[in-house]
Chain A
Amino acid sequence: MDSRPGDETLLLAVAERDMGAFHTLYERHAGWLAIRLARRCNDRDLVADAIQDTFVAVWQRPQGFRGDGDIAAWLWGIAIRRLVSRLRTRSSVAAVFENARAAPAAEDQVLLSVEYGDIGQALARLSPEMRAVIQAVVLDGLSAREAAQLLHVPVSSVKTRLYRAKAHLRAALAEGPS
């Protein structure tokens, strides 16, 4: 395990136009990136395109990684923005944050409240639209404009929903568990 080259080494090799190293990097990161992207967009073809765009961008500008933080985080930053720009060019595709998942079972909810306490419950009580905005802006670090493109809503709605969601969470946390 330890003899395997690290991501930084691979990226340096990619900068030297080493296709083998590039493939290793792809094998190492494409999977989890795809899963994480698929949680933001239901259209699998779009996710596949975004993955492709991400690695094309990595190949073309491996020096974009400045050596601070994790390469995984850098890759994610590229991937989510590629997804957003793919969504922008294909406005007909209704790609929204998946929220079709079933409501958590009772056991899971207990588990949740044990593991994550109030914040988990407070998040779970938000409407799907607000959760989507929180996820895009607060957790994924997108700008309001990028989030608007990802969610197919006007920028102003992103801002108001974010504002309301934050107020909601603040109130829920101040109130304590219900």
Chain B
Amino acid sequence: MNAVREYLGRNLRQYGIVAALIVIVVFFQVLTDGRLLYPDNVAALFQQNAYVMILAIGMMMVIIAGHIDLSVGSVVAFTGGLCAIMLTRWDMPWLLACLLTIVIGALVGMWQGFWVAYVGIPAFIVTLAGMLIFRGLTIVLVGTTVAGLPRDFNSISSGSLPNWFGFVGDLDVVTLCVGGIGIVAFAVTQWRSRSSLRKHDLAVEPMPAFVLKIAVTAVIIGVFTYWLSLSSGGTPIVLLIVGFLIIAYSFMLNRSVFGRHIYAVGGNRHAAVLSGVNARRVDFGIFVNMGALAGVAAIVTTARAGAGVATAGNNYELDAIAACFIGGAAVTGGVGKISGAMIGALIMGVLNMGLSIMAVDSAWQQTIKGMVLLAAVAFDMVNKRRTRLG
């Protein structure tokens, strides 16, 4: 029991935000008379917030390295506008257009990364400039709107996986399969990593905690899957995109040399440089990556709007930054997880949706989201002061 308590204590922050998410969900579930968690609303939650989650992945890496990116909203508009132009004016196949959009995003990231990493201008300034530059360029290129996008492209955001296997009762079988694969994959990878740790006589979570974790996760995925399969569409395609990115980037941050270097540079830049880490290349890399992910977010946003819009992506940078800090990133860098950023994004998303269902005025919505951000970071600061490192 002691071991369990100690384990929980060490991961207080991580559980803290999960608990906060649950509290907020329950709160709105009650206030909206259960409407918040209608199956269609749950599906819509992901469709509406996919862009924040995608951007927050890249933003988390930028913040871990000790930087910030204020330009992502404008970059989303810029790359999204170009994507729409490629699709309509140049009649490009939609898959190729998507690929090029991501490449353009990466090029934008190279531009910003160059100034930050190799000229040494603080990222705050570079991306503030980028925010103006790319918004301006978008208006030049797009005008106000480029409409008439192909239906295949639009279904990236609004569509769901086709109902290949029919229904069981009201349940979409494809969705159930996806959920089932998810549960099994989670349990297997957790088990494998645990036994590998045990093989080296390393501390693992106590068995009850481990089983509890698997069981709780399985139940959550199970309920979620069941619920989603009741929705009119089944599994939204963006959910798969986001899911893939979460898994890929979590692996990258934890296991790749590049990911490790990001934490090293953010945690103690001097020590990293004196250990032979090329800090400039790390800085450059995270901005290129942020640009590419902004391209992905642009595809999702443009597909959802069904048009390239010059004002698209307004304030997206703030949503992404807020998600990261609510999700446990440290202002000083060196700390943060993809999972944290995702929960942060969900908290913001649930707030948005709950407040909208309750028809709260959008001015108040902003105020409330601001207070939540402040409270989350304040909690973090107080918590850190209490457990200050020696």
- Do A and B originate from a single complex? no
Give me the interface of B with A, judged by CB distance under 8 Å. none
